[in-house]
Amino acid sequence: MNAYGYGFDPLYGMVLVVFALSMLVQFRVRSVFKRYATVLSRNGYPAAHVARALLDARGIYDVRIDRARGTLTDHFDPRTGVLALSDDVHDSSSIAALGVAAHEVGHVFQKEDGYMPMRIRQSLLPVAQIGSYAAFPLFLLGIFLSMEPLISVGIAVFIAVVFFYIVTLPVEFNASRRAISALADGGYLTAGETGPAKKVLSAAGMTYIMAAIQAMLQLIRLLAMSGRRRS
């Protein structure tokens, strides 16, 4: 019997397998980035310079480019209008750095264009942040106290988390497509350099796929546990 008295839970085993695969994907991302971080672009401009140039070319002057501590901590915050590039990216002119920087610029373009999946993701962000921490405690507390409303709230909150992960997929892949197009059109990467840049961004994109799969499995597990409890 497991902790909930339902016997062996194969779904939990699947969650662990996907988690292990996610760790492998993370390793691959770092490996691919490290590989192309040593290959300098022919253009020679540092990533922060390229990001600024791409924004200026679109007439976007109110986005500030900052430095973010750490490795692969690059991000764009639509709420503050800050595009942060990590230590390994900011001053580097490598193909990997330019790809990552342009990807974040792609998110800025999405905001400017009113890209619907990004708007949906931003609206879900507060609930997803809370739900990531609160959903399971609420669900388990509901089981422990035999309180159906708590169980239902826990599931409902986690559904919002899952939807956040799902809508993140088009946001991230669209930003990568915008990045490659902007770098090629602007002459910052040659035809031979766009392939490696795509590899870096594709590897990063797999992390979002694995996160979405893991979240969906967790939701299926919660629904199965709730259904077994009622039967």
Residue 120 amino acid letter: I
| Kind of pairing between the strands at 82-86 and 64-68 | parallel
Q: Identify whether 104 is a catalytic site residue.
A: yes
Residues 6+ apart with CB under 8 A from 19: 214
Cβ atoms 46, 93 nearer than 8 A: yes
* 82-86: strand order across its sheet: 64-68, 82-86, 75-77
Q: Which of 104, 112, 148, 172 is catalytic?
A: 104
DSSP 8-state symbol, 73: -
Active site residues: 104
